[in-house]
Amino acid sequence: MALQVVNSPFDERQTEILNQLLPTLNDAQKNWLAGYLAASQSAAPPETTKQVTKTSETATRTITILYGSETGNSQTIAEQLNDQLKASDRKTVISSMDDFKAKKLKEVEDLLIVTATHGEGDPPDNAIQFHEFLLGRKAPKLDSVRFSVLSLGDESYEHFCQTGKDFDKRLEELGATRIHPRVDCDVDYEELAEEWMNGVLKVLNEDSQTQASEQQVPSSPAEAPIYSKSNPYPAEVLENIDLSGRGSNKETRHIELSLENSNLSYEPGDCLAIYPKNNPELVQAVINKLDWNAEQTIPINKQGEIRSIQEALTSIFEITKLTKGMLEKAAGFFDNEKLTKLIEDSDKMREYIHGRDLLDLILDFTPSNLDPASLMHWLRKIPARQYSISSSYKANPDEVHLTIATVRYHTHGRDRHGVCSGEIAERIQPGDQLNVYVHRNPNFKFPFDDSTPVIMIGPGTGVAPFRGYIEEREELELKGKTWLFFGDQHFRSDFLYQVDWQNWLKNGYLSRMDVAFSRDSAEKIYVQHRMLEKAKELFSWLEQGAHIYVCGDEKRMAKDVHQTLLTIIEQEGKLSSTEAEAFLNQLKQEKRYQRDVY
């Protein structure tokens, strides 16, 4: 398999040399090289790091790094930043926002916030309380605090990077001094995040009157895996099975991928991210409409890498989602009066964007003489899609399994498919390859002992990580109290992994299971109805120290399940609604209530 320049940290010349060398290496040589690189990185840090360490000893202010992160991106950046500051001998404190005692805020000197936005412009789960406190009336004056905010988000959401914006604005209102402007990052956040980090480090290092600001700070952690987000592994598809039975309204697929020789590993709760390819018919329709030559090469990034138009529209650029930012940038290249007018009206733009793609845009606002080389200036990169891993690494070290619901819908006169789930359902066969990397999720981690009861709530594809977890418990021969709530539309056609659950119930690795098939009765029955029916027992499990996990739909299910948990705690614990909230927040703080919702 050849290394590709795109998504790798190497330039074209390095890639060519690596592509000549790598196929000639045997496994022993590869292992030796991997070990050598890892050892040389940890034994001899780059010159720049040493200089930073030497020159910044005068720095005295403590730097507090707080992160708000649900799926791990912000946490990873915060940890990288912490490593870099520590490497230059700075005093740091790093914490998730919920683990940080709000009362300590007044004592903070330099505050660096890295936060995502979730829900619809809401803070991530582990930032809710801190966000509420800071934006509330009890927040202290912060005149002596200096700060900077990095916000992660996704431009396709209405409230882009809202949580970061909230913190940034509020800290200023409270009197804190901004030492570096807030940076808002879209899904391909790496470059901007690094720029923000370097900017912040420059100010902090200048501050300590060193020459450190002139140094380039190394961006990658010492133990970078060989396959990663920027260098995905081309995994062979071993199985691609439709789990949904005859008559189902849905198509939910079970995918098995080979990880052989990848050196990739994962834990229950982690995700696998896939870089998908756009639908070739859609790509062709765009090229035809613009009357472009598919083979013409165009630049795809600032570094000057080039691809054919066909390849760029298939594998590099997102063409299925419109965002406000993209429309505003496109207007500068389209030379179309109607589009220029549309971008002046935010509400109309929002309405237009919904359910439309690049083909709609060029059909509705035909550009005059659009230069294909402009694409990199107004289209964003295709983001990888994450999927909760539904297998156990310990049980299948060479494989990874996923459970993927196919997204299909009809809008504005056309049938449409989700890019990734559509590709997998329509075009991927066993033997094909998918570019993947493991996305660790430190906020969705399970206990591995036989004394902690575990309650799992996972309707639909939300059941995926629980299959991985129970499979791992079986591998470890751990029998304890485990309780699964599963729901889907019909018992006959949508009981995902029914045989697996039945076997685990029989052999004791799963001790309880309650199911809710929503469309088998006149009234809809959902998982939370089953939870309410078993409220007494559920609460007694909580009293015995149970951990609760929720996975699946974020918009409706996770909110309703949260509400139901509050009701159960209130009712069974004989608590007021405020006390029930405090109880559930406490579980969150203790990492006994974790969610992976999307």
Ligand X SMILES: Cc1cc2nc3c(=O)[nH]c(=O)nc-3n(C[C@H](O)[C@H](O)[C@H](O)COP(=O)(O)O)c2cc1C
Ligand Y SMILES: NC(=O)c1ccc[n+]([C@@H]2O[C@H](COP(=O)([O-])OP(=O)(O)OC[C@H]3O[C@@H](n4cnc5c(N)ncnc54)[C@H](OP(=O)(O)O)[C@@H]3O)[C@@H](O)[C@H]2O)c1
120 lies in the site for ligand X, by CB under 6 A: yes
Which candidate, 406, 447, 464, places its Cα nearest to that of 276? 406
Binding part of the chain for ligand FAD, among 134-142, 379-387, 523-531, 572-580 by CB under 6 A, reads: 379-387
Residue 196 Cα distances to 76, 150, 166, 203, 325, angstroms: 14, 7, 18, 11, 20
Among 123, 124, 465, 552, binds ligand X (CB under 6 A): 124
* Residue 459, contacted partner among ligand FAD, ligand X, ligand Y, none, CB below 5-8 A by kind: ligand Y
Among residue numbers 411 through 440, which ones bind ligand FAD (CB under 6 A)? 411, 418-422
Single-letter code of the amino acid located at 442: P
Q: Closest distance between ligand FAD and the C-beta of residue 458, in Å?
A: 9
Nearer to ligand X, 472 or 554 (CB): 554
Among 266, 504, 526, 539, binds ligand Y (CB under 6 A): 526
Q: Closest distance between ligand Y and the C-beta of residue 495, in Å?
A: 11
In the numeric block, which tokens belong to residue 244?
């949904």
Q: Interface mask (CB under 6 A) for ligand Y, residues 547-576, using x and -? A: -----xx-xxx--x----------------
Sheet with 482-488: strands ordered across: 512-517, 482-488, 454-457, 547-552, 593-597
Per the CB < 8 A criterion, the answer to whether 403 and 463 are in contact is yes
Separation CA 342–CA 65 (nearest Å):
41
Residue 101 Cα distances to 98, 104, 105, angstroms: 8, 6, 7
Q: Closest distance between ligand FAD and the C-beta of residue 440, in Å?
A: 11
* Residue 447, contacted partner among ligand FAD, ligand X, ligand Y, none, CB below 5-8 A by kind: none
Among 90, 254, 277, 385, binds ligand FAD (CB under 6 A): 385
Which candidate, 388, 149, 126, places its Cα nearest to that of 254? 388
Separation CA 152–CA 325 (nearest Å):
15
Per the CB < 8 A criterion, the answer to whether 257 and 272 are in contact is yes
Q: Interface mask (CB under 6 A) for ligand Y, residues 453-492, using x and -? A: ------xxxx------------------------xxx---
Binding part of the chain for ligand X, among 155-163, 226-234, 311-319, 525-533 by CB under 6 A, reads: 155-163
Per the CB < 8 A criterion, the answer to whether 265 and 438 are in contact is yes
Among 55, 73, 213, 252, binds ligand X (CB under 6 A): 73
DSSP state of 189: -
Separation CA 41–CA 34 (nearest Å):
11
The residues that bridge with 146 in the sheet, in sequence order, are 110, 177
C-alpha 375, offset from chain centre: 25
Q: Closest distance between ligand X and the C-beta of residue 81, in Å?
A: 13
Sign of CA dihedral 153, 158, 163, 169: positive
Using DSSP's 3-state secondary structure scheme, residue 503 falls into: helix
Binding part of the chain for ligand FAD, among 112-120, 226-234, 405-413, 556-564 by CB under 6 A, reads: 405-413
Neighbours of 28 (CB within 10 A): 8
In the numeric block, which tokens belong to residue 420?
């990734």
Separation CA 166–CA 181 (nearest Å):
14
Using DSSP's 3-state secondary structure scheme, residue 202 falls into: helix
Report the residue count for the chain. Answer: 598
Q: Closest distance between ligand FAD and the C-beta of residue 495, in Å?
A: 16
* Residue 121, contacted partner among ligand FAD, ligand X, ligand Y, none, CB below 5-8 A by kind: ligand X
Separation CA 189–CA 57 (nearest Å):
31
Among 121, 225, 442, 573, binds ligand X (CB under 6 A): 121
* Residue 411, contacted partner among ligand FAD, ligand Y, ligand X, none, CB below 5-8 A by kind: ligand FAD
Q: Closest distance between ligand FAD and the C-beta of residue 462, in Å?
A: 7
442 lies in the site for ligand X, by CB under 6 A: no
Which candidate, 239, 231, 212, 218, places its Cα nearest to that of 89? 212
Nearer to ligand X, 300 or 551 (CB): 551
Q: Closest distance between ligand Y and the C-beta of residue 518, in Å?
A: 3
Nearer to ligand X, 73 or 392 (CB): 73
Among 33, 349, 407, 478, binds ligand FAD (CB under 6 A): 407
Nearer to ligand Y, 179 or 568 (CB): 568
Among residue numbers 400 through 439, which ones bind ligand Y (CB under 6 A)? 405, 407
Nearer to ligand Y, 313 or 550 (CB): 550
Which candidate, 280, 335, 336, 342, places its Cα nearest to that of 311? 280
379 lies in the site for ligand FAD, by CB under 6 A: no
Q: Closest distance between ligand X and the C-beta of residue 553, in Å?
A: 9
Helices 190-207 and 73-87 pack at an angle, to 10 degrees, of: 30
Site for ligand Y, rule CB under 6 A: 250, 252, 405, 407, 459-462, 487-489, 518-519, 524, 526-528, 552-553, 555-557, 560
Site for ligand X, rule CB under 6 A: 69-75, 116-121, 124, 152-154, 157, 159-162, 554, 598
